Chains A and B, each alone.
Chain A
Amino acid sequence: EVQLVQSGGDLVQPGGSLRLSCAASGFIFSNYWMTWVRQAPGKGLEWVANINQDGSQKYYMESVKGRLTISRDNAKNSLFLQMNSLRAEDTAVYYCSRGGGSGDYWGQGTLVTVSS
């Protein structure tokens, strides 16, 4: 069974940092692109970043470039999102998903709140 289990969400002050994790199981992780998507409270879905199978290709939404970094550890079947210089507008539930498009399997989501 494909599973994506997320962790790392928290309350953080503006300008702070956070690292989100997504642990994959039930499939060959190194064969798939992976995606982060976020959803601000009461709002729609917003694509954040993609990474290819070996981590050599990464794509980001414009407003997070230079602040958020997607990475992966294929030996540990894990996807990460390093979040630096966080802003109030980064407050959202962050989802990881399998695939380079909309994703066929999704994690449960983890809440990041940026507030003083």
Chain B
Amino acid sequence: DIVMTQTPLSSPVTLGQPASISCRSSQSVVSSDGNTYLNWLQQRPGQPPRLLIHQISKRFSGVPDRFSGSGAGTDFTLKISSVEAEDVGVYYCMQATQFPRTFGQGTKVEIK
């Protein structure tokens, strides 16, 4: 199984400041079709998860452009350019390149 490791696990951030979350996979998540199915999800308190980014860097419909994804191979990053109050929650990376699908442990973003 591919192990997804996120750092940090907790990220206290000042409103208006940037935040960055790293995700590392135990092996390459490049698919045989050439695509990399590395996704980022947000889970606000008491809510179901919400897809933010798919295939490393493609923002899903309605996701603000302050969210961006980057990376390649086994190392990926989610960045929030300027944290807003509504961004509080837990962020997960997830690989959908092979079965079983696997998630990172989650990174809790909170306001200082």
B-chain residues with CB within 8 Å of residue A108 when the two chains form the complex:
48
| Chain A proximity mask over B40-66: 1 for CB below 8 Å, otherwise 0 | 010100001111001000001100000
- Chain A interfacial residues counted at CB < 8 A: 22
Tell me whether B49 and A106 are in contact (CB under 8 A): yes
Q: Is the CB of A59 within 8 A of B103?
A: no
From known contacts A45-B41, A47-B101, infer whether A102 and B106 are also in contact, taking CB-CB under 8 Å: no
Question: Within A33-62, which residues are at the interface with B (CB < 8 Å)?
Answer: 35, 37, 44-47, 50, 59, 61-62
A101 in complex: contacting residue of B50, B54, B90, B105, CB < 8 Å:
B54
Residue B92 lies at the interface, judged by CB distance under 8 Å to chain A = yes
Question: How far does the alpha carbon of A44 sit from the alpha carbon of B90 in the complex, in Å?
Answer: 9
On whether the beta carbons of B100 and A59 are closer than 8 Å, the reply is yes
Which of A61, A102, A106 is B96 in contact with, Cβ under 8 Å? A102
A100 within 8 A of B: yes
**Cα distance, A95 to B50, chains bound together (Å):** 11
Annotate A3-41 by CB proximity to B: 1 below 8 A, 0 otherwise: 000000000000000000000000000000001010000
Does the CB pair B100–A44 fall under 8 Å?
no
**A104 interface hit (Cβ, 8 Å):** yes
B102 contacts partner chain A, Cβ-Cβ < 8 Å: yes
Q: Please, what's the 1-or-0 string for A73-116, where 1 marks a CB less than 8 Å from any CB in chain B?
A: 00000000000000000000001010011111111110000000
Chain A residues with CB below 8 A from B105, complex form: 44
B22 within 8 A of A: no
- Please state if A109 and B48 are interface contacts (CB–CB under 8 Å): yes
Complex alpha-carbon distance, A9 and B38, angstroms: 30
Cβ-based interface call for B25 (8 A): no
Nearest-CB residue, chain A, relative to B60: A104
Contact call B92/A104, Cβ cutoff below 8 A: no
A44 pairs with B103, CB closer than 8 A:
yes
Q: Which residues of B contact A106 (CB under 8 A)?
A: 48-51
13 contacts between A and B (CB under 8 A): A44-B92, A44-B103, A44-B104, A44-B105, A47-B102, A50-B99, A61-B100, A97-B49, A101-B37, A102-B96, A104-B51, A106-B48, A108-B48
